[in-house]
Amino acid sequence: MTASISALLLEWYDVHARALPWRVPPGGAAPDPYRVWLSEVMLQQTTVAAVKPYFAAFTARWPTVEALAAADEADIMAAWAGLGYYSRARNLVAAARAVAEQGGFPDSEGGLRELPGLGAYTAAAVAAIAFGRRAVVVDANVERVVARLFAIAEPLPAARKAIRAYAETITPDTRAGDFAQGLMDLGATICTPREPRCLLCPLAKGCAGRVSGDPAHYPVKPAKRAKPLRQGTAYWTVSDGAVWLVRRQPRGVFGGMRALPGDGWSAAADGAGGRKGEALGTVRHGFTHFDLELTVEAVAGPQGEGEWWPLAKLGEAGLPTLFAKAARLALAAA
């Protein structure tokens, strides 16, 4: 059965592979490891639609890993603004510089794991897709397909060990990269989270989830925990057509990025609060582990060490989405 799964999937992928800007189609030339790695980092917990414009902008501005390695970190962080999960951008810089120093990407899963920010999934994906290594690649789409194929009843996250073990059994020795991308495409277009299109699935005949009558039941998810709601304040100071911006601490939420000054809110605690100026309104933003209600206050003088940034060029400051929201609110209230 396992051999037929890989053969059926690869046959389907050869016809139905998604056309993506970072992907070489089946039977095409060898992929560029830089483009594979960059796309995989960007796609972590981010949709394909959101990544496409960022990938185009990055590869136009920094077409090689050497160009990215030589870039100013602040420029890279600004270009990443809005894509979220900013630790990925910091690791991107560190990994690019390590690769440039080594003279190229490691071509093995183990070697890739040594680079900053490359965990098990990303290292396996780059090894398989860019270098043709046999590696077991399990992202959220693959996780869902495999859980349904074998009707894995154990709830997540505990089920991931069994999912990986089953994925190991069906990963072929050759074309592992195409196989991984085929599973990803199947999960994204056919074996979707809701209302899977089993009639179009090349693996439907041997799918235990389909036989059960309720394939959408898999993977079994644990009950959601309510996220804490944090409260914070951002300060808006304008003078002579410029707004006061600060650089956030290197670590933590939005580490190292330009932002509006704040009252010390974090993922773990509310801000200090206390009114310093005129309240302009509140914006809300969702993070992975908490939600935030951020009050924007207009204050007379600069808060903390920072710089004056021209309002006419605020879009070039690389503000994270939260602070871009706050800036739009403040500008609308002016």
Q: Which parts of the chain have pLDDT scores under 50?
A: none
Report the percentage of the chain scoring pLDDT > 90. Answer: 80
CA-CA distance, 282 to 75, in Å (whole number)?
29
- ∠ CA 168-170-175, rounded to 5°: 100
Per CATH, 2-217 and 229-333 having the same topology is answered: no
CA distance 49 to 174: 30
Give the predicted TM-score (pTM) of the model: 0.80
Q: How far apart are CA 31 and CA 21, in angstroms?
A: 11
Tallying the residues shown for the chain, one arrives at 334
| CA–CA gap between residue 118 and residue 87 (Å, rounded) | 12
User: CA 310 to CA 299: how far, in whole Å?
Assistant: 17
DSSP string, 152-178: --SPTTTTHHHHHHHHHHH--SSSHHH
Query: Tens digits of per-residue pLDDT, 209-236?
Result: 999 999 999 999 988 888 999 999 999 9
Question: 177-206 burial, b if ≥16 CB within 10 A, otherwise e?
Answer: bbbbbbbbbbbbebbeeeebebeebbbbee
pLDDT value for 85: 83
291-298/229-236 β-pairing: parallel
pLDDT for the residue numbered 3: 61
Residue ranges per domain, the chain?
Answer: 2-217, 229-333
Cis? peptide before 250, omega within 30° of 0:
no
Res 43: pLDDT: 94
Sign of the alpha-carbon torsion through 280, 284, 287, 291: positive
- Active-site annotation holds for 293: no
Which CATH topology does 229-333 take? Answer: Nucleoside Triphosphate Pyrophosphohydrolase (3.90.79)
Question: CA 35 to CA 126: how far, in whole Å?
Answer: 10
Yes or no: say if 55 and 42 are a contact pair by the CB < 8 Å rule.
yes
Of 251, 250, 271, the residue nearest 261 (C-alpha): 271
- Cβ-Cβ contacts under 8 Å for 57 (sequence gap 6 or more): 79
- CATH number of the domain at 2-217, please? 1.10.340.30
